């Protein structure tokens, strides 16, 4: 499928790379871009060969600099509700992808861009990356899940400090507080993402999906319920070809050839 505001590429088997491609607008999210993101995420979700999704922004200035303020300025309450719901739907769909999603933050990730990064499973950041939820500077709170995912990523007090001051966070601080898991030189960002993706793609795909499911669902469960979910997924894995291949390969001292079955 051809997109006007996105690029969806497959740089290696099982590895997809989604680029928000509005560099002249610093990759800002408008309604059309959100609609295309929803379509692209659905396409990856439906692809049984998908193993990992990388997300980045076009150019060297911005991952996504925010939502499109020019498009938002004259919205009515009803239009703002629909816009927020569309953004929330995209972030929920991204988070719900069964495969790991890695954000490659190459520049400004502000407002909706920070929310897009937070909906990724983890973030590798360029040394030029800048994060923030500056919506209060515009007289509005975050609208695409920033208040909720930020507090789960960095804690309540830090999240409140960031969303009420609108303060921007550079890459080194983002690493320290948990917004990013790794900071790399700008010219190595994509290769670092691909390296991580290749590592994941070589693992048992059903096991990777179940591990992600257990971690994500476990966040909203008590310890006993979360451990029960893990036990159920662990046991079910023993009914798969991947389990037999993985353990057989280990005992035979060879590389496994997983089938995803």
Q: Where are the domains of the chain?
A: 6-201, 205-252
Active site residue 115: yes
Q: Cβ distance 55 to 103 under 8 Å?
A: yes
CATH class of 6-201: alpha beta
**Do the beta carbons of residue 198 and residue 186 sit within 8 Å?**
no
Query: How far is the first Cα of the chain from the last one, in angstroms, to the nearest whole number?
Result: 28
Whole-prediction pTM value? 0.94
CATH 1.20.1250.20 fits 205-252, yes or no: no
Which listed residue (36, 78, 127, 135) is catalytic? 135
Token pair for residue 121?
């499973």
DSSP state of 67: B
In CATH terms, are 6-201 and 205-252 the same topology? no
pLDDT of residue 68: 83
pLDDT (0 to 100) of residue 67: 85
Each of the 261 residues of the chain gets a pLDDT tens digit; together they read 789 999 999 999 999 999 999 999 999 999 999 999 999 999 999 999 999 999 999 998 999 998 888 888 999 999 999 999 999 999 999 999 999 999 999 999 999 999 999 999 999 999 999 999 999 999 999 999 999 999 999 999 999 999 999 999 999 999 999 999 999 999 999 999 999 999 999 999 999 999 999 999 999 999 999 999 999 999 999 999 999 999 999 999 999 999 899
Distance of alpha carbon 213 from alpha carbon 8, whole angstroms = 24
User: Which residue out of 4, 9, 95, 115 is catalytically annotated?
Assistant: 115
Is residue 135 flagged as an active site residue? yes
């Amino acid at each position: 499928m051809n997109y006007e505001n996105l690029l969806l590429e497959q740089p290696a088997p099982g590895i997809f790379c989604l680029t928000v491609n509005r560099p002249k607008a610093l990759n800002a999210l408008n309604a059309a871009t959100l609609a295309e993101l929803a379509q692209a995420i659905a396409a990856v979700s439906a692809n049984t060969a998908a193993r990992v999704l990388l997300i980045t922004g076009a150019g060297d200035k911005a991952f996504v600099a925010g939502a499109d303020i020019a498009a938002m300025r004259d919205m009515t309450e009803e239009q703002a509700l629909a816009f927020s719901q569309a953004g929330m739907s995209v972030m929920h769909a991204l988070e719900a992808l069964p495969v790991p999603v890695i954000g490659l933050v190459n520049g400004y990730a502000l407002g909706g861009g920070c929310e897009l990064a937070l909906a990724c499973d983890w973030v590798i950041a360029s040394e030029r990356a800048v994060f923030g939820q500056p919506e209060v500077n515009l007289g509005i709170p975050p609208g695409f899940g920033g208040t909720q995912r930020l507090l789960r990523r960095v804690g309540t007090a830090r999240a409140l400090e960031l969303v009420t001051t609108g303060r921007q966070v550079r890459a080194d601080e983002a690493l320290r507080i948990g917004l990013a898991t790794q900071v790399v030189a700008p010219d190595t960002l994509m290769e670092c993402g691909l390296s991580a993706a290749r590592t994941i793609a070589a693992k048992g795909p059903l096991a990777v999906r179940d591990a992600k499911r257990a971690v994500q669902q476990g966040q909203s469960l008590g310890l006993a319920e979360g451990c029960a979910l893990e036990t159920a997924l662990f046991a079910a894995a023993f009914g798969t070809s991947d389990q037999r291949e993985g353990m057989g390969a280990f005992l035979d001292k060879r590389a496994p050839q997983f089938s995803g079955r």
